[in-house]
Every structure is written in structure tokens, then in C-alpha cells.
Amino acid sequence: MAAFEYTALDESGRNRHGVLSGDSARQLRARLRAMNLYPVAVRAVREDGTKTTGQLRVPRVSAAALALLTRRLATLVRAGMPLDEALRALIDQAPSRRLRAMLADVCARISEGAALHEAMSVYPTVFPEFYCNMVAAGEVGGGLDETLERLADYTESRRALRQSLSTALIYPALLTLVSLLVVAVLLIYVVPEVVRVFQDTGRALPWLTAGLIVTSQTVRDIGWLLGAGAVVALLSARALLKQPVIQAHCHRLLLNLPFIGRVNRTLHAARLTRSLAILTYSGVPLLEALEISSRMITNIPLRAAVQDAAVSVREGGRLHRALRACGWFPPLLVQMLAAGEESGELDDMLARAADYEEQELRTTLTTATALFEPCIILVMGAVVLVIVLAILLPIFEMNQLVGI
């Protein structure tokens, strides 16, 4: 069945708005008349005509929009409003038509008797698996409003962490790009015009100047071919990285690199502990929480390590020992988990560990950015110095000849 938004008049002449499900608009109008309502407008909210799943083509929702939507829903549920009414209130506040249609469909499914997490799971691009599992835990435990508040906090903290990562990388990437463009302009346009004067003299040029001339000519002649080759190489590497075996080897290599490996391990450790903290605090068993959290880790060796840890816990082992055995996770994190398991406050210790790992990641990136910026400036200065020396050396030789 499809979901329909309707506008109708009741017996007193007041407008009534809502969402109902049905096979057709005609059937829905008959249902409204049976409810002593006069239908004014009935509009289908599903756009793709799919009859197998009934899923809308809803674009991905940003983390900020999802956090705002979750917090508003938590506020309405905490105020005692039924779920279907709370969702109808959110429909009017949705920023796009497709998002309103999706919320209307979720509301219709709930009206048909589906649970909230079941209705949300139909739209994985909006509500991820982790989100739906959290909602399911809140519905079973009877604390849906509190669970939604934690979900909103988690979404906002993850967005803030991702934003800090992007901010830390934007300036170095932009500085590197500008440096490459400046060098390319010097080699393609400036150097040939300046060096042509020395070539016309017929004298032997210094080796640095001759090398610069060859480099400049090569860039001008086959620069486009080098650029095309770089693009082909990147596309080929991207295709190869989709192969599971090659992807696993590359992920393992990233973990072993001096600086990138540390950042990668810290990032996934923060993601793992944060998701485990929220799930266990909401009453999800540790085994199920480990299985859900492992699917959020994109690094293949780390994901396998978490899955192995889940097997060890299922067999009666301790979580901190299983994570220590793989050797990928920070020692301090393992010690904090050990303290949490010994004291019986694992969920609280997981939250503290997540805070620490996220702060450690921000500090590492800030320090690396502060060191990278002067390094790229020094490299850029050295390249420009080489170009200037290559241009000035013939001038010095000509001045010496004139002086003689």
C-alpha cells in the first residue's frame, strides 16, 4: 500500500490534515467519507511507484539535519505525544518535499502497526543500521525519548569530529595545490621566456639551467599526457581497491604507516568506543553491540579484530583481553576497558574512552597541521630558489666574461 497525505473537512467545517495508507486515492476518499470527513485533496507521497518495498528515493540527509530531526522527535516523545502525531508535526518542518514524503511514509507504517525502528529501517540512506538498532533498543527498554536524545548527541559529536578532520586537512591540501600550480606556471610560461635569451648566445649553459630547460620543455610537450596518465592511474587504483584482497592489504599497510596508521587506529577506536557506549547504555547486550559496532568500522583488519573479540566474549573471554590480543588498539584504551569491566561500569568507561580518543585525534591532527604548513612552505621555497638560481647562473657567467 502507498501513503497519502489528505486534507478534509469535518462536520463543523474545520480542516483536517493527516496521512493514511491505502491502495489508491479513490479508496482513501471512500475511507474518509466513512469517517464523516469530506475529502478536499488527496496526494500520494511516494514518488517512484515501487510496489515491492514502497521505498522512496530520498537523498542522503546530512548529519546536522538528522541530529536536528532526532532531537525534535525526542522532545515531542518526551512531552508525551504519540509517535504518529509527533511525526506529523515533523512533516511540516521538513526542509524538502522528498523528506516530508519519507516522514509521511514512516508515519503511515506506524499507523499500520509497525514499530518505529521497522519503519525507519526501510530508508537506510537516512537512518543507518546503527540508528535503527538504537531505536529498537529504546522501544524495548521503554526509554525511547532518552535513546533519541543520545542518538542526537552521538550524531552531533560525530559530525563535529568529521568537521574537525576536514578543517585540519583543507588548508594543507589547498596549500599543496597552490604550490603545484605555481611551479607549473613557472615551468610552462615563465622559464621558457627567460631562458630563451641564454640559448641564443650559443654558449654552454650551467648544468642547473640545462636541467631546468629540459624539465620545462618536457612539461610543455607531454604535460597533458602526464596528467592523463595520473588520472588513469588514480581510476585504476580506485578500481583495484574495490577488490577485497587488495583492499585488505592496503588497509593493513595504512595501519602500519608511522603517522597515518596512528591516526587511523585512533579514529576507529573512537568510533568503536562511542558506538559501544551508546548501545550498552541503552541496554543492548555486549555481544550484539559488538556485532553492530563492527559494521561501522571501515578498516578491514580492525573490523575483523572486533569480530574476533565478539567471538572471544561469546566464549566467556574479556573484551579488553580480546582487543589487546590483536595489537591494533591503543594500550590506554585497553586499560580503561579493563578497569570498566572490573568495576562493572563498562558503559561509562567506554564513554570516557571515546572522549579521550576523540580529543587525542584532534590534538594529533592539529599538531600535524602545524608542522606540515611550514614544511610545505620550505619545500615550495626550495623549488623556487632552484628555479631562480638556474636563471641567475648564466647571468653571473656573462657578467664575469664582460668584466674580463
pLDDT single digits (tens) 276-326? 888 888 777 888 888 888 887 888 999 898 988 889 888 888 888 888 888
The average pLDDT across 388-399 equals 77
Write out pLDDT tens, residues 176-230. 888 888 888 877 887 777 767 666 666 677 788 778 788 888 877 887 788 888 8
Predicted pLDDT at 55: 45
Write out pLDDT tens, residues 26-44. 777 788 788 887 777 777 6
Predicted pLDDT at 58: 56
Q: What are phi and psi of 19, to 5 degrees?
A: -135, 130
Write out pLDDT tens, residues 76-127. 888 888 888 888 888 777 777 777 778 877 887 887 778 888 888 888 888 8
Write out pLDDT tens, residues 135-149. 887 777 667 888 888
Q: Which residues pair with 363 in a beta bridge?
A: none
| pLDDT-derived band at 54, boundaries 50, 70, 90 | very low
To which residue does cell 573490523 refer?
303
Higher pLDDT, 14 or 381: 381
Predicted pLDDT at 52: 35
Higher pLDDT, 108 or 70: 70
Residue 60 burial by CB count (10 A; 0-12/13-18/19+): exposed, middle or buried?
exposed
- Do residues 275 and 288 make contact, with C-beta atoms less than 8 angstroms apart? no
Predicted pLDDT at 392: 80
- Do residues 198 and 216 make contact, with C-beta atoms less than 8 angstroms apart? no
pTM score, whole prediction: 0.67
| pLDDT-derived band at 341, boundaries 50, 70, 90 | confident
Mean pLDDT over all residues of the chain?
80
Q: Has residue 56 got a pLDDT over 60?
A: no
Distances in whole angstroms, Cα of residue 402 to Cα of each of 114, 202, 203: 94, 16, 14
CA distance linking residue 110 with residue 18, whole number of Å: 13
CA distance linking residue 360 with residue 363, whole number of Å: 5
Q: Which three cell numbers stand for residue 109?
A: 507504517
CA distance linking residue 81 with residue 89, whole number of Å: 10
State the first-to-last Cα distance of the chain, in angstroms, to the nearest integer.
98
Predicted pLDDT at 402: 54
To which residue does cell 602526464 refer?
226
| pLDDT-derived band at 62, boundaries 50, 70, 90 | confident
To which residue does cell 529501517 refer?
121
